[in-house]
Amino acid sequence: MATNTSHTGVTRAIKDVNHKLFGGYAELLRIPHTARFAVGSVIACMPFPMVGMTITISVQHYYGNYSLAGMLTAIQAIALAVSSPVLGKLVDKFGQRQVSIPTIIVWIVSAIALVTAITNRAPEWVLYCLTPLLAAIPPWGAMSRARWTTLLKGDRERTDRALSLSGVFDECMWVIGNPLASTLAVISGLLAFSFTGVCVIVGALMFLTELTTEPKSQTVLAREAGMTRKQYREREAARAKAVQAEAAVERARTQAVAEGLSEAEIAAAVRKAQDDAMAGRKESIWGPGLIAVCVTWFSLGAFQSAAGISIIAFATEAGMKQYTGFVFACFSISSLFGALFYGAKNWTIPLWKRFYFCLAVVNIGIGTFMFAKHLWVIMIIYLLIGVCQAPTWINGNQLMLHLVPPSRFTEGVAWMGAMNSIGASAGSAIAGQFIDRMGSHGGFLVVTTLALASLAIAFVGFKQIKSSTETPTLTTVNV
């Protein structure tokens, strides 16, 4: 009898833990139509984990040149960085389906041409010409997050959990994509690109055919308001400024009262805070906070990309190249669990503190790779620090809620991803040069230097990032 009671207690405890961890996520996915676009966006995102690794492995195999592989991945990343904000801006202006469909067609044709050129050892200039076209990838992640924020507008807790859920799905993509890319690319670059193309088509069909959750574009909103798109954007920017000004006034009044100032001094402080908040160009989303986040994401992409190509070189030297995808998958699995637990908790710790803690763990952890003597040591480090990887991105996405107006959220997130891609291109190109000269150890020297520099750069923007989280969430502005 006692045994049955104990067993029942354990079962109940497991159910309680399961409900606390996954109940909030399940509630979100039970909202009609959400599971379809959330899963579809992840499937369509397969080019992100697979294309870079496929290019690196395939080019190294057919051309025997890490510098060429690094330069091509850098070019693809730069092109992606240029195209992502442009596509994000076009999506906000004209709609998700209108922009995504022609973009997908360009990507598929380009992928077929590039893999044909690589397998036939075409001249290097051909690869340089074709690789930028692989940046024709719709901003699936940003579009999915835009759907969540539109659907849950006004519900801060569920919006934060939805962004965490998006991070969980992103990590699932990397967990699957990295080992698949390394395995399939070793067999055949054509096979790897073919699988990626199928994922793009299937995911796009799931996402784009779900019409009920698609946010209205600026064109539609402006038409409904009887305005031009320019007039609508000006009105929305003015409303966002008003929200920020109201918060600034309240902070100034509270601080002045706490300091024991006179009524006249309090009124002067309030007027100054309001004037400062309303100053500047109303149409621009670029403020100190957004610039600080984007610069941080640039440096984050640089050292993580350098780490990727250095690990491939390290594994190749050790005769373990076929296991590189599984090492990266360990990082993603750890990150996946980090995202699950992070999103399940309603945090009372300020966002800026969580942001800097997670960033420091990832940067310092990856900076220790240069001391690793075996591939499995790197895998263990990845497992330990990966729990902070997805939360770092989740924190970045939540910062965007404070930094950009609602109808430009896709553009803001795309800029963050673009800066990460630019950093990744620089990191992989620099690491490739050092690897060809000094082997994998040279690559890891670059990784450690970039990781420490990244953390320093992030703290340069400390004031802006901290202050941005003290303003109201702009996505609560009703437009």
State pLDDT tens for residues 109-166. 988 888 888 888 888 888 899 988 888 888 888 888 888 888 887 677 787 778 777 7
- 15 pLDDT tier (thresholds 50, 70, 90): low
pLDDT at 105: 92
pTM of the model: 0.63
Q: How many CA atoms lie within 13 A of 263 on its CB side?
A: 0
Please state at what angle helix 189-208 crosses helix 47-63, rounded to 10 degrees.
Answer: 170
> Is it the case that residue 23 has pLDDT exceeding 80?
no
Cα 48 to chain centroid, rounded: 11
| pLDDT one-digit tens code per residue, 50-69 | 777 778 777 877 887 767 87
How much is the mean pLDDT over the chain? 77
- 282 pLDDT tier (thresholds 50, 70, 90): very low
pLDDT at 395: 82
Angstrom distance (rounded) from CA 146 to CA 361: 29
Reference 39, options 186, 233, 213; nearest CA is: 213
Reference 76, options 327, 369, 418, 463; nearest CA is: 418
Higher pLDDT, 392 or 239: 392
Q: Which range in 15-29, 229-243, 294-308, 415-429 is most confidently predicted, on average pLDDT?
A: 294-308
Angstrom distance (rounded) from CA 377 to CA 385: 13
pLDDT at 475: 47
Segment 370-399 mean pLDDT:
82
Segment 24-35 mean pLDDT:
82
Angstrom distance (rounded) from CA 352 to CA 163: 16
> Is it the case that residue 283 has pLDDT exceeding 60?
no
Cα 423 to chain centroid, rounded: 13
- 410 pLDDT tier (thresholds 50, 70, 90): low
> Is it the case that residue 93 has pLDDT exceeding 50?
yes
pLDDT at 280: 47
The DSSP output letter for 405 is: -
pLDDT at 429: 75
- Which domains are assigned to the chain? 10-211+283-476 (1.20.1250.20)
Higher pLDDT, 346 or 362: 362
Segment 355-373 mean pLDDT:
85
CA distances from 288 to 284, 291, 302 (A): 12, 5, 21
Q: Which two tokens stand for residue 356?
A: 């800097």
Residues 243/477, Cβ–Cβ less than 8 Å: yes
> Is it the case that residue 385 has pLDDT exceeding 70?
yes
Cα 413 to chain centroid, rounded: 8
3-state helix, strand, coil in the chain (%, to 5): 85, 0, 15
| pLDDT one-digit tens code per residue, 219-244 | 877 887 787 777 777 777 777 777 76
